[in-house]
Structure 1
Amino acid sequence: MIQVTRRIAIDEAELVEDFLRASGPGGQNVNKVESAVQLRFDARRSPNIPEDVRPRLERLAGHRLTQDGVIVITAQRFRMRERNREDALERLLALIREAATPPPPPRRPTRPTKASKVRRLEGKSRRAEVKRGRGRPVTE
């Protein structure tokens, strides 16, 4: 079991790793070695993801979520396969942790106080007076 938060732990059997050739520069080695990792996690059918976290996780996953509810994370930042595996897993865990944090409470609208309204209007009139003083002098 991989501990994500205090109340969420996912089973390693739920993670599916595929290895593929990384794109980009690397010389002859890039054509021979499958160092990129594609990590798949079925978020929709996972029994370890709480029901209140699942919709937030799917919304945060965005384009990484397939039609079937599988999160696909591709890691090819590093040249070593093992380091790419760690990177993909860490990105998945960070995504789940972010989804597990509860959303902030909704903002309750408040009305400005009378004193703040007066201060705002006084500031506006002071500013208008400054700008009015920048005009051309009146010649008679």
Structure 2
Amino acid sequence: MTQSKPSVLFVCVHNAGRSQMAAGFLRHLGGGSIEVRSAGSMPADSINPVAVEAMLELGIDISDEAPKVLTADAARASDVVITMGCGDACPFFPGKRYEDWKLADPAGQGIDAVRPIRDEIQARVATLIGELLG
């Protein structure tokens, strides 16, 4: 019997910066051992180009990603739901692990302001991988 791999949903308001960077790190660092989803309560039209640039500096390309609307199904299908400033817009389902990561919003910021946000997300994702795959 094979155990299904854990799944993580990253949620922020626009699904254009923080949640996309977190999903990019989890795909990259998790090596396919964790299912990754990201969504936004009010998705933007496109991903934040500065977030793309910041991730490319570390060799991770998220330029093909697109903001997606948060659905109850996506949350229901995930073992861990990580919110990043979406407040009450995030659905809550009993039995899920929820974490709220307090992170600055990279929207409208230059690359120098986005790098520390990216680095904090990378550290949190690395910790999360350790907890899930321990």
Q: What is the TM-score when the length of structure 1 is the normalising length?
A: 0.29
Work out which structure has the larger RCO, using CA pairs closer than 8 Å and 6 or more positions apart in sequence: 2
Tell me which structure has the larger Cα radius of gyration: 1
